[in-house]
Amino acid sequence: MVERRLIVLVVALALWSAGILGKLASIQLTHHEEYARKARAHQEVVRTLPAPRGSIYDRNGQPLAMSLPTQTVTVNPTKLPDLGVAAGLLEQVLHMQGSGLYAKLKQAYEEGRGYLVVKRQITPEEAESVRALPVDWIEIESASQRHYPKGTLAAHLLGGVDHLENGNAGIEQALDDLLHGEPGQELLLTDVKRRGIDSRQATEPKPGTAITLTIDERLQFVAETRLAAAVQDHGAASGSVVVMNPSTGDILALASFPSFDPNQPPETDQDARRENHATAVPFEPGSVFKVITLSAALETTNLRPETPIDCGRGEITLFGRTIHEAHGGYGVMPMAQVLIHSSNVGAIRVGMRVGQQNLYEYVRRFGFGQPTGIPLPGESRGRLRKLSGWTATSLASISMGQEISVTTIQIAQAVSVIANGGLLVKPRLVLKQGQQTAPQEPAVRVIKPETAFTMRQIMEGVVMPGGTGYPEARLAGYSAAGKTGSAQIFDFKTKHYTHNYNGSFAGMAPLTNPAIVVVVTLNGTHGDGGYGGRAAAPVFNAVATEALRLTDVPRDLPDEPGRTLEAAKAEPSSDLAIAGLGSGPNILQDVDDGEKPAESAGAVAVLGPVVPNFQGMTMRDVLTEAASRGLTILPDGSGVAKVQDPPPGSAVRQGERIRVRFAR
């Protein structure tokens, strides 16, 4: 009996041992990988290591945007022992009193969410306090914080990021794929309470590509400061400034007002301050657009700067619509003076000679009606109707800058065509991607070089005595050229033009080889001080002067000792005399829908020697003839004289230079 019991016991022990050995064999051999995987799942935690977002620099290497390491506190609401206690503890440690954390925890718990961000970007002191808590339901994650060290500077260019550091505006959004980088992974070994014991890096995060912009932060600061002051001084609603190198297309500054601080989250989804008025908000350009009209005329007709244009008595009626000059008529004057005095009637007369088809083609050639391709989201193409949509008076309207909408960046691109000798250059905002220079698209021929040269000479008259940009746009030590604009703003509700204006000025300097183009637009100005010559030209003066200084462009004019802007404003009126071009009052009047001249009205007087006709003469003959008359010549090129400014028959001030273009 005893032996039988021993046998049973031995058999039972043997079976029990066999079962244990079988189970061990199953665990260690058959299902080893499965159980090891489950063990690792309990002991190891895979954490994502965020990749530092690529920094953004200006052309001189000054940082404009960077990512700084920071930490984030998270919890698993489903594992909280008591929501109220947890909320109170976290609010005290993280200084979040009154944050409504309990309600957030309760909502996450009821929704079954296992992850909730409690607070981002905690301080080192707060991180130390959290780690000291004797609980296992709080985690601190490594993160990064996007920081814009210059605050509001270049905010519309840079844009911003969301809490996950995904770009949501500006360059941050446009180049998000390059800036974002690739996150890495870290394996964290934990104890039974999920507390970290050891860690090892599985994959290393790859930082985003650094971006170098073409802008100069010093010039950007000047542009933004001057723009903000002008908007406030003239009661405008908004404004923009673009500074561009006409040869390379590099954007040296791009300012928009009102501005914002990209370090702060948007107050609403439609924060109007974040609109980039230089690229995304089109407007009617007004008289600035007459530059395109005259350029098309020089290209497609036999009109020349000295060709007489009958501007009548200040009005013209087309198909039942009467268009007026702002302050009377000009009679007959050379086409160059049409631009210098910004005559609406004269521009319409010129546009009629150009014709609808040619004008439309050249407007498109200069880049209007299509985006420039600048790498900023939301760029507007403006508004240019197809020829089939033009009305009977569209030719007249577009000739003087109405019935078309443009952006400041489009105007800068178009004026650069005049400045660089007739080539359309795509604006460039990105100078480098990492260490690699950003590619540049080839320029496209738009107008002949001689047309561009002639237009520069005509536009110089705008900043000379008698022009609508004088004296505000006249630069000290540099020759310059430009065009004012004061477009009345159309009210779509009443279907009428208001007495508020888009005051603008587009200019270039120095004249012989322009290194910069500056375009200033103030939207919603009013009163006499809101015209382009009064409101926008001073901004051009300040920004262009600083741009020329920063780019080390040598001066090409002597300083005028004792001459100040106030003294220049007090100089007597001095229109260029026009001889032998027909009858009619040659009186300096207002120039376009609201464009007031720089001088008070008065009859034209002959102030100095009359310019002879140099065309067809050799350079030696020109210099000899000029010397005999006491005139100063600024020659360009070689061969025989082809183009001159001022035109023949004009009277010049003492010391005023005559520009003559020679060609073979």
The 10 Å CB-count burial string (b at 16+, else e) for 173-202 is bbbbebbbbeebebebebeeeeeeeeeeee
3 state DSSP class of 602: coil
CA–CA separation, 101 vs 96, rounded Å? 8
Which pair of structure tokens corresponds to residue 31? 């299902």
CA atoms within 13 A on the CB side of 618: 3
Contact between 297 and 395 (Cβ < 8 Å)? no
Contact between 586 and 578 (Cβ < 8 Å)? yes
Pairing relationship of beta strands 657-663 and 640-645 according to DSSP bridges: antiparallel
Order of strands across the sheet with 632-637? 632-637, 657-663, 640-645
Helix (H) or strand (E) holding 45: strand 44-49
CA–CA separation, 38 vs 44, rounded Å? 10
First to last CA, the chain: 135
Which pair of structure tokens corresponds to residue 551? 């780019």
Residues in contact with 486: Cβ distance below 8 Å, sequence separation at least 6, in sequence order: 286, 287, 501, 502, 503, 504, 530, 531, 532, 533, 592, 593, 594, 595, 596
Label residue 194 left, alpha or beta by phi (over 0 means left) and psi (-120 to 50 means alpha): left
What is the identity of the amino acid at 147? H
Q: Cα 198 from chain centroid? A: 50
What is the identity of the amino acid at 99? S
Q: Catalytic: 287?
A: yes
Contact between 609 and 360 (Cβ < 8 Å)? no
Contact between 53 and 144 (Cβ < 8 Å)? yes
Alpha helices, DSSP H, located in 240-342? 290-300, 335-340
Please choose, from the candidates 444, 60, 441, 518, the residue with its C-alpha nearest in 3D space to the C-alpha of residue 255. Answer: 518
Residues in contact with 359: Cβ distance below 8 Å, sequence separation at least 6, in sequence order: 293, 296, 351, 395, 398, 399
Contact between 573 and 599 (Cβ < 8 Å)? yes
Order of strands across the sheet with 251-257? 251-257, 238-244, 516-526, 496-509, 481-491
**What DSSP designation does 29 have?**
I
| Of 55, 144, 287, 486, catalytic | 287
| Angle in degrees, 0-180, between the axes of helices 537-550 and 217-233, rounded to the nearest 10 | 170
Backbone phi, then psi, for 591, in 5-degree steps? -115, -35
Length of the chain: 664
Please choose, from the candidates 459, 477, 472, the residue with its C-alpha nearest in 3D space to the C-alpha of residue 569. Answer: 472
Which pair of structure tokens corresponds to residue 583? 């009858």
**Residue whose pair of structure tokens reads 């200069």 in the numeric block:** 366
Give Cα separations from 338 to 144, 291, 321, 591 (angstroms): 58, 10, 21, 9
Which pair of structure tokens corresponds to residue 254? 């791009």
CA–CA separation, 598 vs 585, rounded Å? 18
Residues known to be catalytic: 287
